[in-house]
Structure 1
């Protein structure tokens, strides 16, 4: 039986010509050579070799595509992103290019995937009203679920870029201080309440100037793409440390991201208005007259192969454009490779909650050693197509 052509995708494949997410891979015959690639179906197109195959279309960008990380491409800016995306789409769809392009594909199962970009800064937000309300009711049952500032600004914290890892990297159970309400003093040891947070991450390409805020309307000029993200959380460590300054060791031990970054332009058909706001917003956050800032991404959370939740990203109260505007309104600059995350995605229904804290009402059980968590997602694309986001998987290893 002849081998299937890399250009012939199964019907409904979510990694077709409308998607074309970017990643970094290596092959068994050259394990030390990292190359840029684009996922197409169950194969990876070697972008570093594409300028030789299609010199007229993509040769001016050969140096960017020869880099071992996405960062030079991220820094090149939106016009270049669009030119390369158009050339890649032509390479996989135009029959005239098949003979030159076919040898540049590698089976996905035969390559090793790497962290696709060097993370500069990492910021995590708290943008789901459903999640924030649920958590508030668990932690503050006798007070208002939402803090007074929640509907006036996107709350966030600055995380640890050095512990962002690619999907498939094991997660070692962290140590830290913990103190239950009934304990007289804190104790030290492995986290007993290890949790997940199903989130969506946004990858910054074009940097900004220090002291120059980035308005919402400049969002597309700075944000290259989107990925799934799991913000692993040690709830017992977090509960003891987070007052008064917020998350620290309970979050900073690991954050998993997909090996594939979906270009923002691939999600145009999935744009949707955010939920109605019932509190007036300050001008820099007001998006009443802006393009729809929400994105209809359907996430699925599986633990050891069993689906436990399907959180809808379309329900997020704060949009990524508002988060970017708030993150820079004080004059903080963006750097190429900055990563900011949405915060836990949760919907209004019991099967739409994005973490075990909510799913179990804070009672557990939480993650056990050996558990494997996988996040997958898709978004509506043109002509009924589905746009798949690369999965995020991590297995829990015992504390060391």
Structure 2
């Protein structure tokens, strides 16, 4: 029998009325003759309340206990949804992440899925049940509850879909698809019918928070079709797939931007002391994501390396660097705040030279200084002052004719 995985979170499960609407969506897929798995994210207000309670008790709670605490939030959502489906007259079972067979490593608060044993899910399918799984969580080899961190629910959904060989994953969000830019800040943004895994991965890494990069990576690895769609209105969403039909041969298909970027600079007394491998290995071991990297080696000046990180990882990055100062042998660390990243993305860029020059020229005409640059085959990112972020995004959206090219 054909299988489908549906993921809901945020507003979609914020109240019992909304949860009942989710139940109807799951039942509708069951009526089509499909085996259905629904993955729930945490209920937002519950998470905030539990976080406050934990802070009231301790400023230094262990990550293990926080995982145990916060895992209950998506379990609450899954149980309430199962009750709603039962009330509608359908057979259903709710499972925690570990009951659903989600095995992870032991990195609390940011675990990675290592395997999924779908034996129990398969048994429930044989009994004709809808299966509701609490997302964002699993269990490690020591039988400790773990949480997957940001994007854990959609990552769970894609991983489970791959494990049960589902037809596709529907990610229900508070937007009705993937746009050429964030329409809240770029009024001319247009919805895309399709987007490639690679383009979506770049968008997700560069500021679009519709779906987490980890989920996109899994979808690409297992060639799992994913539909991004609205939980509020029944309209066509955006399909993530390997190859897409290019709308009117667009070279650039999206503009992404992200605020609260911090530039960290680490300096050395001599080039012989500078080891890029060592510094980024230490950061990687602590799961600190580094983006744009620039190394400067100039005669007469001390060598340095600058890189960007997100604001929420700033304190931890400084802590890691300070604790590793002797082994890394750097002489100073400095930082700059008040920055943002603006990027253009499109698979057509790989075969069309001159895109970066056009981007830089557009920003120059608008009087927007560029502080750092990073490129790949399908994206160009620049770091600018945060005050220039929205201006730059709208200018680039217009420069590459994204509004006109997609209008019917």
- Calculate the TM-score normalised by the size of structure 2: 0.24
Tell which structure's C-alpha radius of gyration is larger.
2
More helix by share: 2
Q: Of the two structures, which has the highest relative contact order with CA contacts closer than 8 Å and spacing of 6 or more?
A: 1
- State the TM-score, normalized to the length of structure 1: 0.24
